[in-house]
Amino acid sequence: MKNRMLFLSSLFIAASALAAQLSAETKILALAGSTREDSYNKKLVKEAAEIARQSGATVTVIDLKDFSMPFYDSDSEKNEGMPANAKKLRDLMISSEGIIIASPEYNGSLSAVLKNALDWASRSEDGSPSRDAFKGKKFALISASMGPGGGSRGLAHLRAIIENVGGEVIQQQTVVPTAQNAFDQNGALQNAAIKDQLKQEVKQLLVPAKAPQPA
| Residue 63 interacts with ligand FMN (CB under 6 A): yes or no | no
Segment interacting with ligand FMN (CB under 6 A) among 37-45, 54-62, 133-141, 201-209: 37-45
Asked whether the beta carbons of 177 and 147 are under 8 A apart, the reply is yes
DSSP H helices, the chain, are 2-25, 40-54, 74-80, 84-94, 112-121, 152-164, 192-205
Q: Which of 70, 81, 108, 127 binds ligand FMN (CB under 6 A)?
A: 108
How many CB atoms neighbour CB 177 within 10 A?
Answer: 18
The answer to the question of residue 143 lying near ligand FMN (CB under 6 A) is no
Beta strands 168-169 and 138-144: pairing type?
Answer: parallel
Residue 174 near residue 142, CB atoms below 8 Å: yes
Q: Are 82 and 120 in contact (CB under 8 A)?
A: yes
The CA-to-CA distance between both ends of the chain, in Å, stands at 47
Min dist CB 202 to ligand FMN, Å, is: 18
Binding residue for ligand FMN (CB under 6 A) from 23, 39, 55, 96?
39
Q: How far is the CB of 47 from ligand FMN (least distance, A)?
A: 13
Based on the shown chain and the rule CB under 6 A, indicate whether residue 62 belongs to the binding site for ligand FMN: no
**Window contacting ligand FMN (CB under 6 A); options: 71-79, 90-98, 139-147, 190-198:** 139-147
Binder of ligand FMN out of 79, 107, 185, 213 (CB under 6 A): 107
Give the footprint of ligand FMN on this chain (CB under 6 A).
34, 36, 39-41, 104-108, 145-147, 149, 151
